[in-house]
Every structure is written in structure tokens, then in C-alpha cells.
Amino acid sequence: MNSQAAATFLAGEAESLLTRLDGVRSFSLTIAMVPAVAASTRGLRDIEGYLATGRTILRSKVLAYLKWIRGPGAEVPVDLQQRRLTFLKLQFNAALDQLDIFADALVQRGEHEHGIWLAGLDAVAADVLTLRETYFVAPAMITYLDRGHGAAIRRARTRLPGGGESPAAVIRIPRERMVGGGIGASLVHEVGHQASALLDLNNSIRRSLERRMRVAGCDRATWNLWSRWINEIIADTWAVAHLGACGTMGLIAVVGLPRAFVFRVQLDDPHPFPWIRVKLSCVLGQLLFPDPQWKRIDAFWEAAYPRAGLPPAQLKLLERLEATAPELGLAILKHRPRSLRGRALIEVLPLAERTVPRLRRLFTSWRDRTAGMCTSRPSLALAVLGQARVDGRLSAREEATTLARLMAFWAERRIVTNGGAAVECERQEARWSAA
């Protein structure tokens, strides 16, 4: 095939790309859902704007190619003509990949009941990314369901396939986690990754640990492991700080695997191996919210996965990690990154309202007046329910029923004014009382 004939064929291929681009419609025109379950207006606007800009840029590149191939490009060698179209097609496929990433998170909101839960989880995610003062501009948070053992997040402002930065954080929740308060632990852990990135905690705390490793007599091998795992540890800290014992018990529900996996140390895995991860979560809980319950949770974990029978080298590793865990916890909580403008991490987390005695008092008062659950921060409500489960004051069925009601309320509250929310809270309380 000569250059002129090839140019005609390749121009037709380029026109096909334009036809497909023209067929892409806005999510607001293609996804049917009730207002209460829709993604936030800001989130949808940012996503639509980002994708539309990408399509505009791609369209201009395709039009430029058509102008070239029908002009001077018709005379160049066929392999060059094909090469330029190939690069265009790669960019075209990347644009559709980006569309699918957000479509997966948005289309589910039209599913019966799932949409309500996802909207409620969006509200929880936005809440746990809110600190006492403004240290960053929080991105929109969008949740969706998928298969898989653990949750995951595609953080806002990270690279998308084909280039560009994600305009929103997209959090995947495993369908098997859609039971009880454990869902909160998975969600808040993933939001912790976004918070860590926005505050640059991962790099800042890792540098602090590296300075510690240069001190004479330091157990460098042990602290090197903590440094390697620090990103996941920060996210676990975020979960315990917002949910208390619910954060640790939710973690146990995720990592309660066959014994071989619980003790398996994989140096290429950014997660601490499950056994020490739960132990560290208990240490963090005791540092944040001192109470005898953490010893009980720790004892349960020891009984569920006794260390007896492990090789001596592994036992020694466990002992070294256990011995340094409290020091690590304090190093994280007392760390003062530049992003917090001189404040320590422990000073900006909502700890005062989540002490164990206060969570217990709130549960007692909320049993009499459910409006308290509506007017409180969503993450606080999850912490109260989780503490009640740990204390044996709330059954799994009662917790699931209450969570379903709260998710529906948080979804509905997102579309009413503040005054309307107060009125709706009274209506919700009346409905719950009647039920």
C-alpha cells in the first residue's frame, strides 16, 4: 500500500476515534439515581470537568492528525503515519480507562440500597478527613463496592492511567465488609492514606525514624521494618484515633486469616504482617484512649494466634517489634510535621470526644434519644456503636439495623439545608421510635 492509500485508511481510523469521543456523555445525563445517593456536587463537577478537558485535548490532537495526514503527512512513509496514529489510540484508550474508573464508582449508586450505603459512606469519609483547623483542601471522596479481601483507595491528585491527576479520591470497599461496624474501620483506614498524603506524614515520619536509626545502640533492623511499613501504620493510627476499639476490632476482622498468613513476614509487602499489626493497633489504642479493654483485646489476639511453636528467630523478631511498638506509637503521635504548622499529630485528632468513658455515656444517652446519633459526626456515631459492641451492650443484629438507618439518614442529610437537617433528624427519630 502506498502512502496516499495508507493515509486515506488511517484518516478513517482517526475519524472513528472522533465518533467514539462524540458518543461519550456526561455522567449527569447517563446515570439514573435519586439525589440522596448521588456523589457530592463538587465531586461530580470536578470529575466531569477533568474528563471533559481530557476529551477536548484529545479531540484537538485527533483533528491535528487528520489535518496532517490529509496534507503533508500523506507523502511520508507509512510506518510514520501509523506510528503517530498508534500514539493517538493509546491516549484514546487511556481516556476511556479514566472514564471507567469513575463510572465504576458512580454507576453503583443506582442500585437499590447499595446507593444509600455508598452515599452514607461518602459522608463518613468526608468527616474523617476534617480536622479542627484547615491544613489542606480536602478532595471529594467517592466510595464504591467491589470484590476482594481488603479495601483500597485511588488517592486524589495521584497519576491516572495515561497521565493527569485524579480529581477525587475513589475508595473501594469489599462487598464482604458491608456488615456491621467493621466497614467503618476499612473505610477510615483508606481515608487515612489520603490524609497522610495531604499532610505528607509518610515522608515526614519516615525521615524522623531514619534519624532515630542513626542513634548509637539503636536496633536498626527493627526500626527499618517499622519505617518500611509506616504508610500502613499511619492509616491504622487514623482509624483507631477516629473509631477507638472499633478500629482495632475491624482490623482483626480483616486480618484474621489462617495462622500461616498471620505470622508470615514478607519484606516486599508494605503492610505489617497481621500478628504485629493488631498488636500495634492495641498499643496505639492504649496511648490514645487509656483503658483496660486494650489488654483484653490483646489477650484475645494472643489466644487466637499463640506464638508457641514458632521458630526461635521469628520469636525473637516478635519480641523486638513488641518492645519497640510503644516507642513507635509515641513517635507517630508526637510528630510535628511542617504541614501541621508546629502542632503534633495527637493535637489535631478528635480525641477528647472519643475517650472510652465518653463513648459509653453517649451510647447510654442515645439509647433514649436517637437524635444524638443524627446530629453527631458520622465517625463519632460509628465509634459509639463500635464501643458498645466491644462492651457487649449491642448485638450484631442491632448494630447492623442501626447502621442501615444512619447510612440512609446521612445520605439524605447531604441534600438538605442545615435547618432542614435538624427537622429531618426529628422526623427520623420519630420513624425509628415507631419502628
Q: Domain boundaries in the chain?
A: 3-109, 200-349, 363-434
Q: Which residues contact 174 (CB under 8 A, 6 or more apart)?
A: 145, 146, 147, 148, 149, 150, 151, 186
Quick one: 96 exposed, middle or buried, by C-beta within 10 A (0-12, 13-18, 19+)?
middle
Closest by Cα among 115, 105, 99, 109 to 25: 99
Phi-psi region of 69 (alpha: psi -120 to 50; beta: other; left: phi over 0): alpha
Beta-strand pair 152-154/168-174: antiparallel
CA atoms within 13 A on the CB side of 257: 15
Select from 283, 395, 373, 365 the least CA-distant residue to 328: 283
Residue 299 has pLDDT above 50, yes or no: yes
Q: Which residue has the higher pLDDT, 33 or 124?
A: 124
Look at residue 239 and tell me whether its pLDDT is greater than 50: yes
Comparing CA positions, the residue from 254, 226, 224 lying closest to residue 239 is 254
pLDDT bucket at 212, cuts 50 / 70 / 90: confident
Residue 202, φ and ψ in degrees, nearest 5: -55, -55
Query: To 10 degrees, the CA torsion angle through 168, 174, 175, 178?
Result: -90
- Strands, sheet with 140-146, edge to edge from the N-terminal-most edge strand: 140-146, 168-174, 152-154
E runs forming strands in 44-201: 140-146, 152-154, 168-174
In Å, how far are 4, 197, 263, 283, 285 from 143, measured between CA atoms?
50, 18, 31, 29, 27
Q: What percent of the chain has pLDDT over 90?
A: 43
Q: Which DSSP string corresponds to 17-46? A: HHHHHHT---HHHH----GGGSPPHHHHHH
The neighbour count for residue 60, using CB atoms within 10 Å, is 10
pLDDT interval class at 419 (50, 70, 90): very low
Mean pLDDT of 241-248: 96
Q: How confident is the model at residue 103 (pLDDT cuts 50, 70, 90)?
A: confident
The residue ranking higher by pLDDT, 299 or 268, is 299
The pLDDT-based confidence of 248 (bands split at 50, 70, 90) is: very high
What is the C-alpha end-to-end distance of the chain, expressed in Å? 76
86 backbone dihedrals φ, ψ, rounded to 5°: -60, -45
pLDDT tens readout for residues 137-173 = 999 888 888 776 678 899 998 888 777 888 889 898 8
The DSSP H or E segment spanning 316 is helix 312-333
Q: How far apart are CA 332 and CA 328, in angstroms?
A: 6
φ/ψ of residue 76, rounded to 5: -85, 165
Of 263 and 414, the one with more pLDDT? 263
CA distances, 18 to each of 33, 97, 164, 320 (Å): 29, 16, 21, 61
Q: CA–CA separation, 299 vs 362, rounded Å?
A: 27
Helix (H, G, I), strand (E, B) or coil at 169: strand
pLDDT surpasses 50 at 385: yes
Q: Any idea which of 20-29, 139-148, 212-221, 381-390 has the lowest mean pLDDT? A: 20-29
Which is higher by pLDDT, 384 or 74? 384
List the grid coordinates of 120.
Answer: 452514607
Q: Which of 297, 296, 285, 194 is nearest to 241 (CA)?
A: 285
Mean pLDDT taken over the chain: 85
* pTM for the full predicted model: 0.83
Of 181 and 55, the structure prediction assigns the larger pLDDT to 55
Q: Is 186 helix (H, G, I), strand (E, B) or coil?
A: helix
Position 395 pLDDT exceeds 80:
yes
